[in-house]
Amino acid sequence: MPYTQDQVRLVLSRDRIVRAAIELIERENLEALSMRRIAAELDVAVMSLYNHVPNKAALLDGIAERILGGMDVADGPGMSWTERARALVRAYRKVAHDYPRCVTLVMTRKIEAPSGMRAAEHALAIADDAGFDGGTAVRIMRALLAYAIGAQVREVGAAKMLDYLPQDRREEHLGKLDPVEFPHVVALRHELMSHDPETDFEFGLDLLIGSLDRLPRG
């Protein structure tokens, strides 16, 4: 039974609308999102949504803000700068795993709210505390965020690339390639199919942080 107008005023809020949108996207996909669908999810009239979210673009902004604002980064005065940098990148990874479909939206949307700059501010503060000059700190921030985003895109892309083949046929498929044209792929097909996203992620993160730590300070 739909809410009365008085009940809508009491229970409907921007936060509730955004949460419903996130749940819908994760359950179905971004294409399923519309103001009409959100109204149906909340069992309210479509027009009542516009008292809290002026349009779909504002709703998308709210989703991106909430996803980024929910990042929980382990940080403390006793941690080294490299530990803090790892924690930041891992926090982004966790958000990407918790909200895999919404993160695609976050990565492609310009976020003007302060929450959109929190990860950048955190990375710059870490680099500054480590003693790097301003220009280097900015490049470190870009490298950390690029790795966090790129690792997620690579994982999703690698999974989609092989989705059309059953798990037990993927190595067999690579074995059918011409060994003259693809000698390394054929020889290492077992290793290629033994994909461990977590190990790959940590391996790349170690390489990145190790390289950054060797940069000159000041």
**186 and 138 both lie in a single domain:** yes
CA distances from 121 to 88, 100, 128, 171 (A): 11, 23, 10, 44
**62 lies in some domain:** no
Asked if 105 contacts 25 with a C-beta cutoff of 8 angstroms, the reply is yes
Report the mean per-residue pLDDT for the chain: 83
CA distances from 84 to 5, 39, 73, 135 (A): 48, 41, 8, 19
Q: What is the average per-residue pLDDT within 8-35?
A: 88
CA distance 48 to 20: 14
Res. 164: pLDDT tops 70: no
Tally the domains of the chain. 2
Q: What is the average per-residue pLDDT within 41-49?
A: 92
Nearest to 124 by CA among 111, 142, 104: 142
**152 and 186 both lie in a single domain:** yes
Per-residue pLDDT tens for 52-78? 999 988 899 899 888 888 787 877 778
Res. 15: pLDDT tops 60: yes
Q: Helix, strand, or coil here: 31?
A: helix
Q: What is the average per-residue pLDDT within 138-144?
A: 93
Count of all residues that appear for the chain in the document = 218
**14 lies in some domain:** yes
Phi, psi of 67 (to 5 degrees): -65, -50
**19 and 112 both lie in a single domain:** no
**31 and 88 both lie in a single domain:** no
Q: What is the average per-residue pLDDT within 114-138?
A: 88
pTM for the model: 0.77
Res. 82: pLDDT tops 80: yes
Nearest to 143 by CA among 208, 204, 187, 67: 208
Res. 159: pLDDT tops 60: no
State the residue range of the domain holding 21. 5-54
Q: What is the CATH number of the domain that holds 133?
A: 1.10.357.10
- Give residue 165's pLDDT: 46
